[in-house]
Structure 1
Amino acid sequence: MSPVFGHGRLRLYLLKLLEESPRHGYEVIRLLQDRFLGVYSPSPGTIYPRLARLEADGLVTHEVVKGKKVYSLTDKGREELERRMDELAELEEELSASAQEFARGVQEDVRQTVRSLREELTQAARTMRDQGKATSKDAWKETTERQKDEWKRQKEYWREQKRAWKEEWRRNWEDAWKTATGTREDVARLKLERLLRTFVEDVRAAATTARLDDDDLAAAQTLMEETRERLRAEVFRTDGS
């Protein structure tokens, strides 16, 4: 995966990520890991010096939030991103091809998993037959069910990974295209959609480790409804109808 980011292209992709939303260095690393499903995992020694160089070139700036440097795109950075939009589109196409190659690898992993499970089942059958125990039938059934469950779990996991990968790249491509061709209002709506996605992802991540009861859920619902109404009244200036 790393050759895709040769010749200054990682620099370009960092500009794209910061155009989507201000981020600190660790968020950039984590986002790259997530988007490439761990296949490409840059080190801090790769990302932080490039962020510092972008800042030295006047393309990004930072502010310290809770002890962390949060980087955001400057007007000069947006101008470079817009100027290199054709190159960004080409990069997205190459990354999409890499995603397809990865998906083919996933399919091969699934096939290999199936082959391994079949071999294990065959070996288990031989073992049961050789032992000739009265409990061999029950043991065989238990082994079969266990292997089937594992096969289903592996198959579902890789199917979900492929779906997430394809959806992420579809979204990235559409976002890049809208940014390049849309009106100012279209770009503003696109940025709002990105903010909403990030908000939902952050809340979902926090909820995975939280112990929620009915009162917590009611409080969360109330907060979300209040936020929705404030956005309608103070930002969107609609009556909610």
Structure 2
Amino acid sequence: MAPVFSHGDLRLYLLNLLDEGPRHGYDIMQALSDRTGGTYTPSAGTVYPRLAKLEEEGLVTKSIDGRKTIYEITAAGRAEVAARAGDLEGIEANLADSVRLIADEVRGSVREAMRSLRADLAAASDEQRTGATPTATPADDDPRVHSREQLHRADAVVNEFRARVRSDLRTHVARGGDLVASLVDDLAVELDRLGRDITRSLRG
């Protein structure tokens, strides 16, 4: 994935965040993560040197509030933000694209996992109907034994799918990503369709 901020864009975006109001360092880093949908989580080593540079340029001032260092934009900083409004619009558009991209990636992951699950369960259903297995031995000839084995396999596949998708979704949201309703709707529809396909296959 391409960098979220091109050269010089982060500097301007920091000014833009401070133009909204004073912030301490951690708040700035959290805001950057939130507004990029979790695609960019800057380190202190990235943010603080840039804030120090903005302070040297007279665009930002800092003050101490207890254990926190509060950064505030100056009149000169506000003037630069206003003068570069067009550049900021371009940055905001790129950030929106990044959020859409990560949502598409999550959506693709969900669909791929559901296709894999459908294929595995269809194969298990076919084996159950035919009673055939590539590695069958005399001890496996009992269809009931084979069915129980396939049931355990199906349980494992379903649990693996659930764990993987749940982890992907939780990680996405924890990083500040936007979990769009259409993605959840697609998940519900696909799972319902898959459930009906499995029921029809089992009824033969």
TM-score class normalised by the smaller sequence: 0.5 to 0.7
Deviation at 1:84, TM superposition (A): 0.7
Match in the other structure for 2:151: 140
Q: Which has the higher contact order (CA 8 A, sep 6+)?
A: 2
5 Å matches for 1:177-216? none
Deviation at 1:48, TM superposition (A): 0.8
Match in the other structure for 1:78: 78
Q: 2: CA distance between counterparts of 1:165 and 1:55?
A: 37
> In the superposition, relative to structure 1, how do residues 83 and 166 fare at CA in structure 2: closer, same or farther (>3 Å)?
farther
Match in the other structure for 1:164: 178
> In the superposition, relative to structure 1, how do residues 65 and 165 fare at CA in structure 2: closer, same or farther (>3 Å)?
farther
> In the superposition, relative to structure 1, how do residues 119 and 33 fare at CA in structure 2: closer, same or farther (>3 Å)?
farther
Deviates more, 1:110-119 or 1:130-139: 130-139
Deviation at 1:76, TM superposition (A): 1.4
Conservation of the 8 A alpha-carbon contact between 2:106 and 2:169: no
Q: Aligned partner of 2:178: which letter?
A: A
Match in the other structure for 1:10: 10
> In the superposition, relative to structure 1, how do residues 38 and 94 fare at CA in structure 2: closer, same or farther (>3 Å)?
closer
**Residues 163-198 of structure 1 deviation map (CA, whole Å, 9 limit, x = unaligned):** 83679xxxxxxxxxxxxxxxxxxxxxxxxxxxxxxx
Q: 2: CA distance between counterparts of 1:163 and 1:46?
A: 21
Q: Aligned partner of 1:133: which letter?
A: R
Aligned-residue CA RMSD (Å): 3.9
Q: Which structure has the larger Rg over C-alpha atoms?
A: 2
> In the superposition, relative to structure 1, how do residues 146 and 75 fare at CA in structure 2: closer, same or farther (>3 Å)?
same
5 Å matches for 1:58-97? 58-97=58-97
Conservation of the 8 A alpha-carbon contact between 1:36 and 1:165: no
- Using the aligned pairs only, state the percent identity: 38
Conservation of the 8 A alpha-carbon contact between 1:110 and 1:155: no
Q: 1: CA distance between counterparts of 2:65 and 2:126?
A: 63
TM-score by length of 1: 0.54
**Count, aligned residues:** 166
Deviation at 1:20, TM superposition (A): 2.1
TM-score by length of 2: 0.63
> In the superposition, relative to structure 1, how do residues 65 and 148 fare at CA in structure 2: closer, same or farther (>3 Å)?
same
When you count helix as a share of all residues, which structure comes out higher? 1
Q: 1: CA distance between counterparts of 2:94 and 2:4?
A: 7
SS of corresponding position for 1:5: coil
SS of corresponding position for 2:37: coil
Q: 1: CA distance between counterparts of 2:95 and 2:72?
A: 24
Deviation at 1:154, TM superposition (A): 4.1
